Amino acid sequence: MEKPPQRKKARFDHTTLPTQYLGEHRRDTMASSPRQLDYAIIDVFTSTRYEGNPLAIVRVPRSCALSQEQKQTIAREFNLSETTFLHESEADGPSDVWRVDIFTVKEELPFAGHPTIGTACFILSDVARERGVVGQVEAQFHLKAGPVQLQYDAVKNTAKAAIPHNVYVSHLPSI
């Protein structure tokens, strides 16, 4: 049996957060549809298998349109803290831009750190390996919270994400 590729470290705010790959890419048929979707289950924030934060990543090809209800059903079926849906890049758009939806078993989230970093390590390590990159890979996710700039270091097996957030500056009254 061929050994699955190793998912190594993720990087988030100067803290090393390794990611351990838990299984081969698998195909699963959704019960409500004849479509098959590739998915992977990885552990984020650990270098030890079956520790850390598990994450399901479902690859969604351009030819597949999933409803919010279907995504929610799939996330409930995985029964992990989060499941991401990694939508294939648009044919006429940049190749290193993906739309990512993040779901818990109960709802969709506009942003969450561990699914963002885990999904970035997953897809960008594949991109680096396919292109033979030994340096940096720059990319972007479009989340409900907004665009997230990504940088993957193929040598260190680390990912960085520019986290979207709203900033409110409060002005104190003059004394």
Choose the catalytic residue: 2, 82, 88, 90: 82
Say which residue, 68 or 8, is predicted with more confidence. 68
Which one, of 110, 130, 122, lies nearest residue 152 by Cα?
122
Task: Tell me which fold the domain 9-161 belongs to.
Answer: Diaminopimelate Epimerase; Chain A, domain 1 (3.10.310)
Name the residue ranges covered by the structural domains of the chain.
9-161
Q: Which of 45-49, 51-55, 123-127 has the highest mean pLDDT?
A: 123-127
Q: H helices within 96-158, ranges in order?
A: 113-131
For the segment 9-34, what is each residue's pLDDT rounded down to a tens digit? 332 222 223 333 333 344 444 444 45
Burial (CB < 10 A; 0-12, 13-18, 19+), residue 133, is middle
For the segment 57-83, what is each residue's pLDDT rounded down to a tens digit? 999 998 888 999 999 999 999 999 999
Could you give the CA distance from residue 163 to residue 64 in angstroms, rounded to a whole number?
A: 28
Q: Is 82 a catalytic residue?
A: yes
> Would you place residue 49 in the very low, low, confident or very high pLDDT band (cuts 50, 70, 90)?
confident
